[in-house]
Amino acid sequence: MEKKTLMITGASGFIGSNFIERYKEKYNIIPVDLLKTKPEEIEFKGVDTVLHLAALVHQMKGAPREKYFEVNTELTKDVAENAKKNGVKHFVFYSTVKVYGYDGDLYNHKLILDENSECNPVDDPYGESKWEAEKILKNLESDSFKVGVIRPPMVYGKGVKGNMESLIKLIKKLPVLPFDYNKNKRSLVNIENLMYLTTLVIDKEGQGVFLPLDEKNLSLKEIAEGIEKAYELKRVNIPLIQPFFWILTKLKPNIMIRLYGSLQFKNKETQEKLGYISKISYESGIRNMIGE
């Protein structure tokens, strides 16, 4: 079978660099640096699929609201319009579960979202800018220009940054942790599972929304214990007593929601459309992070 020619924006990022290393023999890959090349200057000739990874993600020190829309919305629009104009048949956009408007829920641990759940990002320029880009891409779709949207939850794997990196550092540092908590459930995706789903979207010219997920959703206790086991750490996990739990919820709501809140997804439609089944378990995925 002839190799597909795949153009990747944001190729130097965590997901892009992992994808290229893993699948450089499977596809003819053309990396594009949008910091150096304007969308209208891109040579799309012979490109079967554009995998658009370039984005401005959450910045620890903050970024102007308009910058998120400049990169995540307008730049996406410009790349997609030029790809369509130049005959590209398939555009794969990396969005985020932030488009649903949830970081987690401390009160409703039974809520489960899916590909068709309502999106309503508020006061989150990252989620809002991605959602605006999704709507623009939907309007660009035609019989000759298919759009696949991938919405990853929290991604983990070797070299990962963000919330998972912070949690691992905390567990490595403290011998006693307030992580004996199993009421919540969160959806995660290992980088290997994420990349595998991406290949399915590319190969099947997937159209619509896709949720890449590990096989099962995990509680905070299960997530922490998996990290401790993988790194061979002896840690004492204790529960937070209720008064202290709710005081912290008032004082540090964002941190408490991310740790103790539930954020669950199911991806039945993704499985049916693509035949997707996660390839690697959470335990194996965490073990693969050793040796960073």
User: 129-151, pLDDT tens digit by residue?
Assistant: 999 999 999 999 999 999 999 99
Q: What is the tens place of the pLDDT at every residue in 60-115?
A: 456 889 999 999 999 999 999 999 999 999 999 999 999 999 999 999 999 999 99
Q: In this predicted structure, what is the pLDDT of residue 137?
A: 98
Task: Report whether 158 contacts 168 (CB < 8 A).
Answer: no
Rounded mean pLDDT, 153-161: 90
d(CA 13, CA 207): 24
Q: Is the pLDDT score of 1 beyond 70?
A: no
Mean pLDDT of the chain: 94
For residue 70, give the DSSP letter: I
Structure confidence at residue 164 (pLDDT) = 87
Q: What is the pLDDT of residues 254-273, one digit of tens each?
A: 999 999 999 999 999 999 99
Using DSSP, how many helices (H) and how many strands (E) does the chain show?
11, 12
The pLDDT-based confidence of 51 (bands split at 50, 70, 90) is: very high
- Phi and psi at residue 9, to the nearest 5°: -95, 155
Backbone angles phi, psi at 182, to 5 degrees: -125, 20
- To the nearest whole percent, how much of the chain has pLDDT over 70? 97
